Amino acid sequence: MNPRYVLLTAAKDEEKSIAEVIQSVLRQTVLPTAWFIMDDGSTDQTAAIVESFAVKHPFIHLQSAGARGGRNFGSQYKAVMAAYDLARSLEFDFVGVADADQAPERADYYESILGEFQRNPRLGIASGFLYERYHGGAWECRRSNSEDSVAGGTALFRRSCFDQVGGYTPLVLGGSDWLVQLDAKMAGWELMIRPDQHIFHYRPTSSAGGIWRGTFRAGLMDASFGSHPAFEFFKCCRRITSSPILFGSFVRFGGFLWWKLSGREPLIQADKVCFLRKEQLAKLRKHFWPFGAKPGVQLNESSIKS
């Protein structure tokens, strides 16, 4: 297999981390065919830093996405898809998304992930595990990491999978990386997570714009996907003692309830909501009764209407 891949990055005001992210890619044992970095209206030195590397490394291409207002997830993934449009004419087999604040720890990150694609022709998306610093301490495994959910900020796609699902759909509340995984699974692709491949995340999850606002927004995002209320409740309960902020799980569940009580409907199609809820209910059954459906526990398709 000729491991040809391109990287796509949307960067907005990332001067504190973008240099380290670029250097982490330059250390890789397998370099990308091209790396398109979209400056999404930065007001700091982000573009200048990227340009200083692009001069020395021709595979790095800096493009301007223009000013798009404040930081938001919809803008980020519009920029990512604009970067993909620039890459379409090139010859490559894999598509990598590299967030401007996430960097692989090991130099064999892409080589190792590409090897997984070679071994499994049905593998559509793969990534490592995110590591974050809490209160300025040492790097720790992100508390919400899951072995059935790819870390979107350093995900690698098989190109045919990425094209089949149409890439990312920009969503103002976030969740574009969640939706593309859902689309891939519905299309029959498999996902893989490598916990041994650590990815340093320089900005804690949901911290952009303030940790409280980000946590509340995460609850809104879950509700906008039609996440099952029972699953959301138990997820938030499980994270009570591991939230980066005190009572963070209550804030997230409050965002979820706010959406529901406002009478708003999910933002994704009904068939995707149904698929997601079936997955969530299956996880609940497995967690509470790993040997099969427990008698008396009615977690079935009828509760999808909740």
Grouped pLDDT means (10 residues each) for the chain, 306 residues: 89 95 98 96 94 97 73 78 96 96 96 97 97 84 82 93 96 92 97 96 65 86 95 83 64 92 94 96 82 43 38
d(CA 230, CA 283): 11
Confidence at residue 206, expressed as pLDDT on a 0 to 100 scale: 52
Is the dihedral angle over the CA atoms 66, 69, 71, 74 positive or is it negative? Answer: negative
Domain positions in the chain: 5-201, 211-292
Q: For residue 200, what are the β-bridge partners?
A: 103, 131
d(CA 103, CA 99): 8
Confidence at residue 296, expressed as pLDDT on a 0 to 100 scale: 39
Beta-carbon contacts of 224 under 8 Å, excluding residues fewer than 6 positions away, are 171, 173, 175, 259, 264, 266, 267, 268
Q: What is the CA radius of gyration of the chain?
A: 19
Alpha-carbon separation of residue 2 from 25, 33, 108, 222, 295 (angstroms): 18, 11, 16, 38, 51
Write down how long the chain is: 306
Identify residue 147 by its one-letter amino acid code. E
Q: For residue 265, what are the β-bridge partners?
A: none
Confidence at residue 190, expressed as pLDDT on a 0 to 100 scale: 97
Confidence at residue 210, expressed as pLDDT on a 0 to 100 scale: 64
Q: What is the pTM of this model?
A: 0.86
Question: What CATH number was assigned to the domain covering residues 5-201?
Answer: 3.90.550.10
Question: CB atoms < 10 A from the CB of 26, how many?
Answer: 15
d(CA 71, CA 78): 12
Identify residue 200 by its one-letter amino acid code. F
String of DSSP letters for 44-64: SSHHHHHHHHHHH-TTEEEEE
Residue 208: which of 16, 38, 8 has the closest Cα? 16
- Residue identified by tokens 């959910």 is 149
